[in-house]
Amino acid sequence: MHRLIAAFLICLPVLMGLSVASGADAQTNVPPQASTVDTNPAVSKLDDILRRQEGLKTADDAVRATETGDPDNAMPSTGQLGTLGGASDADLWRAFRFGKADITTQARVPAATTLIQDGGMWWLDFRRGPLQTIAIYLLGGTLLALALFYLVRGRIPIEGEKTGRTLLRFQAFERFGHWMLASSFVLLGITGLISLFGRTVIIPALGHEAFSSVAIVCKWVHNNVSWAFMIALIFVFVIWVVHNIPDRTDLRWLAKGGGLLGGGHPPAKKFNAGQKLIFWAVILLGGSISLSGLSLLFPFEFNLFGHTFSWLNGLGAPGWFGFADLPYPLAPQEEMQYAQLWHALISVILTAIIFAHIYLGTIGMEGAFDAMGKGEVEEQWAREHHSIWAEEIAGPKTTASKEP
């Protein structure tokens, strides 16, 4: 036994020496790799990480987008610390992030191969931050301004003596088109605002479960009532576009501010300049909302923003205002995100305009609601607010009506 222990002790240094030599051989087989942490601009530094956490763009994204791995320069896969493939993990994640990786997925849907969508956080931050702030200030500010206007100006009365006679202002099919557009817009506005403010306002108030039911109903209503809005939009465009072509009468009307502030009633045809502005705002903004809405209804089917951004960049349009080029190309999700932001922003602007329209059509002006309510208006009202049209319909004023 003693002999055996002695032999082991004698051989131990030899065995240890062989082991060290073997390790040395293994190290010398691997080509020396210099650290690229400080020299490779694609490697994230602390400053980059902090900027990204603050939602700011990092300076070297363009370089990073190209640093997605070169299989020829990769560590040999046979080495002790070799890679499993041609690119390092960092290269692969960069390729995911910048859409350069060749990805095959189980899901056969258009955007399934985008595993990391870098622009998504910007969209999320903007949607729950500035977009909601803009909506609150714009809609709240408009309501406040209208309330102040009402306090200062009061309800605009029919100034002359009422005749007791009425003029047919809008036929039944015109009122039908108006009300289908209006009722669908109101529903879309309410459901859209609930969707926009759900996470920040309604979930804290009602809880997740209650909001879930509300959100499902709102989504169904918003998606399907949108068709009624689009049909009505086309309908009112067809029936009223002839009456809404701008002319010289509108310039005179606008020069006098429509008589809203200074009093008096500038001459107007069937639609005055203010109504024409409302009409074109509804058609153009409503049309834009419809297009972006269709893009959202059929996700990834037709993309509006990438092509538009490319075209604007080609013109140099962003540079006219001191901005850098607009992003192009866009990931499929980015297309949807820009469509959602545009859809919401233009909808909020149109809603603010419609607030003013509703105000003037109801409590803001005596006799105005009858035009869409009954279809017939007091002749004196027509002579005051649409004098040219009233004269075409009813002839020159009689002694019962008084032109201001």
Contact call for residue 220 and other proteins (CB under 8 A): yes
In angstroms, give the least distance from the CB of 95 to other proteins. 23
Pairwise CA distance, residues 161 & 164, whole Å = 9
Closer residue to other proteins in complex, CB, 44/223: 223
Closer residue to other proteins in complex, CB, 42/186: 186
Closer residue to other proteins in complex, CB, 287/373: 373
Q: Looking only at residues 58 through 117 of this chain, which bind other proteins when binding is defined by CB under 8 A?
A: 106-112
Stretch that binds other proteins, among 14-22, 82-90, 225-233, 316-324 (CB under 8 A): 225-233
Pairwise CA distance, residues 364 & 359, whole Å = 5
Residue type at 210?
A: A
Contact call for residue 293 and other proteins (CB under 8 A): no
CB 379 within 8 A of CB 394: yes
Closer residue to other proteins in complex, CB, 174/366: 174
User: Total number of residues binding other proteins (CB under 8 A)?
Assistant: 35
Which residue's entry shows tokens 């080609």? 314
Closer residue to other proteins in complex, CB, 180/291: 180
CA proximity to 162, closest of 371, 378, 399: 378
Pairwise CA distance, residues 261 & 224, whole Å = 41
Contact call for residue 176 and other proteins (CB under 8 A): yes
* Dihedral, 173, 176, 182, 184 alpha carbons, nearest 10: -120
Exactly one of 52, 162, 175, 397 binds other proteins (CB under 8 A); that residue is: 175
Pairwise CA distance, residues 173 & 171, whole Å = 6
Exactly one of 260, 373, 376, 402 binds other proteins (CB under 8 A); that residue is: 373
Stretch that binds other proteins, among 62-70, 91-99, 216-224, 321-329 (CB under 8 A): 216-224
Exactly one of 44, 117, 195, 223 binds other proteins (CB under 8 A); that residue is: 223
Contact call for residue 238 and other proteins (CB under 8 A): no
Contact call for residue 302 and other proteins (CB under 8 A): no
Contact call for residue 120 and other proteins (CB under 8 A): no
Exactly one of 221, 294, 317, 394 binds other proteins (CB under 8 A); that residue is: 221
Exactly one of 143, 145, 231, 341 binds other proteins (CB under 8 A); that residue is: 231
Exactly one of 299, 318, 327, 367 binds other proteins (CB under 8 A); that residue is: 299
Exactly one of 30, 239, 254, 297 binds other proteins (CB under 8 A); that residue is: 297
* DSSP reduced 3-state for 369: helix
Rg, the chain, Cα only: 34
Contact call for residue 225 and other proteins (CB under 8 A): yes
Contact call for residue 179 and other proteins (CB under 8 A): yes
Closer residue to other proteins in complex, CB, 19/224: 224
DSSP string, 163-178: -S-EEE-S-HHHHHHH
Pairwise CA distance, residues 272 & 264, whole Å = 14
DSSP string, 2-53: HHHHHHHHHHHHHHHHHHHHHHHHHHHHSPP----TTT-TTSPPHHHHHHHH
DSSP string, 124-136: HHHHHTHHHHHHH
Q: Looking only at residues 305 through 364 of this chain, which bind other proteins when binding is defined by CB under 8 A?
A: none
| 276 CB-near residues (< 8 Å, 6+ apart) | 244, 246, 250
Pairwise CA distance, residues 239 & 350, whole Å = 21
Residue ranges in contact with other proteins by CB under 8 A: 106-112, 172, 175-180, 182-184, 187, 220-221, 223-225, 227-228, 231-232, 296-301, 373, 375
